[in-house]
Amino acid sequence: MTVSRRDKLLAAGLLLLLVWLVVYPILLVLLEGLRGTSGWTLQYVRLFLERPTEWRALWGSLWISVASVVLAGALGLPLAVLFARYDFPGARLLGALVALPAVLPPLVGVLAFLFLYGETGFVSLLVQRLSGMQEPPWRLQGAGAVLLVHAYSMYVYFYLFTRASLASLDASLLEASASLGAGRWRSFRRVVLPQIYPAIGAAALLTFMTSLGSFSAPYIFGGGFRVMTTQIVATRLNGDNELAMVETIALTLLALVALAAFRGSRAPDAPASGRKGIAPAPRALRSRGLRLGLTVLAWGLTALLLLPHLTLLLVSFVPIGTWTVEPLPPVYTIQNYLTLVQDPVRVRPLLNSLWLASVATAAAVAIAVAAGVLGIRHRVRGGRLIESVLALPWAVPGTVFAIAIATAFSVRAPWAGRFILVGTAWILPLAYLVRNLPITSRAILTGFRGLDPSLDEAAASLGASRGRTLRRVTLPLLRPAMLAGASLAFVTAFGDFVTSIMLYTYDTRPVSLEILSSLRQADVGVAAAYGVVLMVVSGVVFAVGADRGSAG
């Protein structure tokens, strides 16, 4: 179809908007890091390079991310093979349960860990009592604790990606391999592994980037152990604004270098056989002993992986100050939840998060749909560029964006596209929006790609205007993709902590910050209740998105 002038103008407008939202703030950070009171200077860069703490934080970010990939892989890969290839009682249920942490906000995971393995946590108390020690058996602090939380919350990437990839294997390939005389191990190494390699690579990349940008875990468990994200926030709180900018640049560079390295070393794409054929059926185990062992192992692992969230649930029913040294809480109450809805101060963050996330989600969906209509349906030149800008925030840690947006929108300079939004209600939806652009647009643009282009042409040949085609054909067909994209965006924004902590105001404080302040006031039950609400809302929204997404 021919590209109309109006489309070209709209596409240019969209690109401009995206550059202003995504690229411009980061460029401003770069500029601020290189400018002093009297013009250009490398003084802050030098300061950064000279301080060993900065190098330690940078190194910390790097190694903890690599270690997280290794550990999460070590946990997630066997789980994927276990659930994809073997059949045992409860396999389906457990397989779904194990994937749960995928939809939970990082802060909830951290909170749950705290209640379980923290100094006054459930397990720690239990061990302390059983061993008769005076002190808690361990302190959940430092690099080890961060790594534990990372592995625990990121194994799902490996689990989900690899499992999906294993499920899409063509059984006839394995049969062909067996008929050519390859044993099980050789089949796995030569046939299965090369096919799931891209999935493993994708999971590793996602884990690495998530760890690099991880903030909640190092912020709460890090103690003396600093990574770049926490370092940036600390520097900024100290008032060393320019140094914080340089740190931000350093973290961005680290992310981009890592991304480039991954892209460069990526395995060749899976062979063309793709999704044809029938997935291999899970193997029922013949040996009863093996079957029993596997079943116990799977149930045990699942329990272990879900224990933190069960603990969170438990703690949310405990009245303040009643659970001190007993292994199980002596008293239960629903008062914590009642507080959330009755106390206006406590309700506020829930309502805040709700509207902030809704606005950000709606905006992200609208932008993604516009990009799809212009770039994919109407094939406007520059569609690819728009897509790249949309995907960019994915490569940049959340802390960086928080700093960038705080920098860009704390100055009034309308001629330069800068307005004072910091301190207003609009800064958080804006930050959430930018952070959500990659996931929302990936889901929605994939939906656009799945639409048969001749549907548009059919509508045109039947005399339908572009508006009517969009309303009657494109959007109804895109509903599943839009729901999927929207639910992902909403869940992320609803539980966001990393950008919120730098940009919130008291009036717009979201749930995550209220959790933090409840913890500080030792109001553990309320914090847990908030956590459970986050968990349930995230789970429900995600399930609705996925369900409607596939049924629609």
With CB under 8 A as the contact rule, the residue among 53, 342, 388, 465 that binds another protein is 465
Verify binding: residue 467, another protein, rule CB under 8 A.
Answer: no
- 293 or 476: whose CB is closer to another protein? 476
Verify binding: residue 381, another protein, rule CB under 8 A.
Answer: no
Verify binding: residue 189, another protein, rule CB under 8 A.
Answer: no
Selected range binding another protein among 95-103, 167-175, 457-465, 530-538, rule: CB under 8 A: 457-465
- Give the H/E segment covering residue 18: helix 5-18
- 346 or 466: whose CB is closer to another protein? 466
With CB under 8 A as the contact rule, the residue among 290, 458, 536, 544 that binds another protein is 458
Burial 239-262 (b: 16+ CB within 10 A, else e): eeebbbbbbbbbbbebbeebbeee
Measuring CA to CA, which residue among 339, 329, 437 is closest to residue 388? 437
With CB under 8 A as the contact rule, the residue among 47, 100, 174, 477 that binds another protein is 477
- 81 or 464: whose CB is closer to another protein? 464
Verify binding: residue 450, another protein, rule CB under 8 A.
Answer: no
Q: What is the distance of C-alpha 269 from the center of its chain?
A: 25
DSSP secondary structure code for residue 280 in this structure: P
- Beta strands 39-40 and 35-36 are antiparallel
Verify binding: residue 461, another protein, rule CB under 8 A.
Answer: yes
Spell out the alpha helix ranges (H) of 409-509. Answer: 427-450, 453-461, 466-469, 475-494, 500-503
Selected range binding another protein among 410-418, 449-457, 518-526, 532-540, rule: CB under 8 A: 449-457
State both tokens at 287.
């040996």
Selected range binding another protein among 190-198, 210-218, 354-362, 473-481, rule: CB under 8 A: 473-481
Rounded (5°) CA angle 306-308-314: 105
Give 110's contacts (C-beta < 8 A, 6+ positions apart).
Answer: 149, 216, 217, 220, 221
Query: Residue for token digits 């914590």?
Result: 336
- 362 or 464: whose CB is closer to another protein? 464
Selected range binding another protein among 367-375, 385-393, 407-415, 459-467, rule: CB under 8 A: 459-467
Verify binding: residue 481, another protein, rule CB under 8 A.
Answer: no
Q: Which residues pair with 430 in a beta bridge?
A: none
With CB under 8 A as the contact rule, the residue among 175, 326, 343, 457 that binds another protein is 457
Give the integer Cα–Cα distance in Å for 449 and 371. 12
- 334 or 462: whose CB is closer to another protein? 462
DSSP secondary structure code for residue 266 in this structure: P
With CB under 8 A as the contact rule, the residue among 131, 239, 452, 551 that binds another protein is 452
- 392 or 464: whose CB is closer to another protein? 464
State both tokens at 444.
């929605």
Output the furthest CA–CA distance in the chain (Å, rounded): 82
Verify binding: residue 462, another protein, rule CB under 8 A.
Answer: yes
According to the 3-state scheme, what is the secondary structure of 216-232? HHHHHHCCCCCCHHHHH
- 118 or 447: whose CB is closer to another protein? 447
Verify binding: residue 8, another protein, rule CB under 8 A.
Answer: no
Selected range binding another protein among 9-17, 97-105, 353-361, 454-462, rule: CB under 8 A: 454-462
Verify binding: residue 234, another protein, rule CB under 8 A.
Answer: no
Query: Residue for token digits 């009643």?
Result: 322
DSSP 189-252: IIIIHHHHHHHHHHHHHHHHHHHHH--HHHHHH-TT---HHHHHHHHHHHT-HHHHHHHHHHHH
- Identify residues 86-145 at the interface with another protein (CB under 8 A): none
Verify binding: residue 550, another protein, rule CB under 8 A.
Answer: no
Give 515's contacts (C-beta < 8 A, 6+ positions apart).
Answer: 107, 111, 527, 530, 531, 534
With CB under 8 A as the contact rule, the residue among 362, 473, 519, 546 that binds another protein is 473
- 1 or 133: whose CB is closer to another protein? 1
Verify binding: residue 455, another protein, rule CB under 8 A.
Answer: yes
Nearest approach, Cβ of 522 to another protein (angstroms)?
A: 54
With CB under 8 A as the contact rule, the residue among 253, 303, 347, 460 that binds another protein is 460
Verify binding: residue 468, another protein, rule CB under 8 A.
Answer: yes
Give 120's contacts (C-beta < 8 A, 6+ positions apart).
Answer: 136
- 135 or 452: whose CB is closer to another protein? 452
Nearest approach, Cβ of 443 to another protein (angstroms)?
A: 19
Verify binding: residue 548, another protein, rule CB under 8 A.
Answer: no
Is the distance from CB of 316 to CB of 119 less than 8 angstroms? no
DSSP secondary structure code for residue 86 in this structure: E
- 126 or 462: whose CB is closer to another protein? 462
Give the integer Cα–Cα distance in Å for 359 and 371. 18
Give the integer Cα–Cα distance in Å for 31 and 140. 39
Nearest approach, Cβ of 366 to another protein (angstroms)?
A: 21
Verify binding: residue 472, another protein, rule CB under 8 A.
Answer: yes
Number of residues interacting with another protein: please give it, by CB under 8 A. 19
Tell me which residues touch another protein (CB under 8 A): 1-2, 452, 454-455, 457-465, 468, 472-473, 476-477
